[in-house]
Amino acid sequence: MMSRERVEAQLEVGDRTGNPGYAPARLVMERGQGMYLFDTEGRQYLDFLAGIAVNCLGHCHPKVVEAIQGQAARLMQVSNTFFSDVQIRVQEKLTRVSFGDRVYLCNSGAEANEAAIKLARRRQRVVLGQTGRSTIITFKGSFHGRTLAAITATGQPKYHEGFEPLMPGFVYASFNDLGSVEALIGEDTVAVMVEPIQGEGGMVPAAPGFLEGLRALCDAHGALLIFDEVQTGMGRTGRMFAYEGYGVVPDIMTVAKGLGGGVPIGAMVSTEEVFKGFVRGSHASTFGGNPVMCAAAEVVLDELARPGFLERVVEVGGYLKERLEGLESAIPIKEVRGVGLMVGAEVGGQAGRIVERARELGLILNTAGGEVLRFVPPLIVERGDVDRAMELLVAAMGDVAASGA
């Protein structure tokens, strides 16, 4: 176990040498197991954040660890000059569980979205010859990642500030407001890009009819519909992908976060027809489809496909929402939103302080959209974990309320 002095010294080095755009907690994580994280000072935390919706099978799931270790000892990287056996299996499995015929593998959510933007533009302009099409409609409050095209797609000014000039060709409609899309869509629209449930923007699900409406508008105007399922995909909502629950099939889908169960891997999935937008040389990634990452993703795909796995996500997710809705806390919860194990509780301006106090008490959460507590636990979470989390949350809210504004 490490002394506080050692930890402070490490944090000082971390702060001095790291990205000043991060604000990490004043502790150092050392180990994870299942629903729990452990820091270098021996404290234990119940993890309802899961590396931001990433560790879907919990920390260091034995099958994920074994697959990574085995693959690392066999073959680590070959580039896309070659296939690896495990990359082929992951591609095939992703097409089998989705609407897609083809998969482009990459390393993050932002990269998957970059690929989607490039594919949509190139397909419309080069394959269909519709060179007048230049705009992608995205939404206010959205989040699509941190590369330049992805921040431009992200409809939140705070992510743009100081990075101008942004990528041309993006316009922003209002989420859950079809009229605002109708006002923007037209002959020049390449695609509409949307999260089925806005995550970073505050855990806001698409309202009934909204995604159907987008599908109809895209079809009427010859535009492509892109779902950013980076956070909602891979079982998070109790379906393999959120689009299934909404009954609306996009033309292009991006996934990442949960796909590798803890390692960096992303994917863009689409149909044979739309993938005609890419020809030899159009797009690539040195690490994309990396065998070690694919070995982890294969375990995730297999585990999520096990009978009853997704049903349990629905069941425990429903229980989490129910407990939050009934919570008697010193700081009132204004609204509980979400689908499956992607849940937000709107608590107002104290959200950040609640997250901090909860961590001190041994529960890990974060905020989304400033005033919302975000619950995206590992998908293996059980009712008992939810009960424990609610106890810690109530205590944290009590402490924050008692300590004043």
Ligand X SMILES: *Cc1c(COP(=O)(O)O)cnc(C)c1O
- Cβ(267)–Cβ(105) below 8 Å: yes
Q: Which of 160, 157, 163, 226 is nearest to 189 (CA)?
A: 226
Minimum CB–partner distance for residue 240 and ligand X (Å): 16
Please say which residue, 145 or 238, places its beta carbon nearer to ligand X.
145
Q: What is the DSSP letter of 126?
A: I
Which residue in the list 48, 93, 228, 321 is annotated as catalytic?
228
User: Which residue has the CB atom at the shortest distance from ligand X?
Assistant: 109
Beta bridge partners of 248: none
Minimum CB–partner distance for residue 230 and ligand X (Å): 4
Long-range pairs, 165-172, Cβ under 8 A, ≥24 = 168/134, 169/121, 169/134, 169/135, 169/136, 170/135, 170/136, 170/137, 170/138, 171/135, 171/136, 171/137, 171/138, 172/137, 172/138, 172/139, 172/140
143 catalytic? Reply is yes
Q: How far apart are CA 305 and CA 62, in angstroms?
A: 17
Please say which residue, 133 or 239, places its beta carbon nearer to ligand X.
239
3-state secondary structure (DSSP) of residue 307 = coil
Beta bridge partners of 39: 29
Which H helix or E strand runs over 114?
Answer: helix 109-122
Please say which residue, 145 or 277, places its beta carbon nearer to ligand X.
145
Q: What is the DSSP letter of 125?
A: I
Which residue in the list 175, 257, 375, 385 is annotated as catalytic?
257
Please say which residue, 113 or 290, places its beta carbon nearer to ligand X.
113
Beta bridge partners of 376: none
Which residue in the list 139, 143, 227, 375 is annotated as catalytic?
143
3-state secondary structure (DSSP) of residue 308 = coil
- Cβ(46)–Cβ(392) below 8 Å: yes
Minimum CB–partner distance for residue 218 and ligand X (Å): 19
Q: Which residues would be at the binding site for ligand X (CB under 6 A)?
A: 108-110, 113, 143-145, 195, 199-200, 228, 230-231, 256-257
Please say which residue, 114 or 303, places its beta carbon nearer to ligand X.
114
Q: Where are the beta strands (DSSP E) in 67-134?
A: 102-106
Minimum CB–partner distance for residue 113 and ligand X (Å): 6
Q: How far apart are CA 254 and CA 234, in angstroms?
A: 11
Please say which residue, 268 or 397, places its beta carbon nearer to ligand X.
268
Minimum CB–partner distance for residue 264 and ligand X (Å): 7
Q: How many other C-beta atoms lie within 10 A of the C-beta of residue 283?
A: 16
Please say which residue, 47 or 228, places its beta carbon nearer to ligand X.
228
387 catalytic? Reply is no
Q: Which of 298, 286, 295 is nearest to 234 (CA)?
A: 298
Minimum CB–partner distance for residue 77 and ligand X (Å): 20
Q: What is the DSSP letter of 122?
A: H
Minimum CB–partner distance for residue 150 and ligand X (Å): 7
- Cβ(54)–Cβ(257) below 8 Å: yes
219 catalytic? Reply is no
Q: How far apart are CA 25 and CA 27, in angstroms?
A: 6
Please say which residue, 194 or 223, places its beta carbon nearer to ligand X.
194
Minimum CB–partner distance for residue 54 and ligand X (Å): 9
Catalytic positions are 143, 228, 257
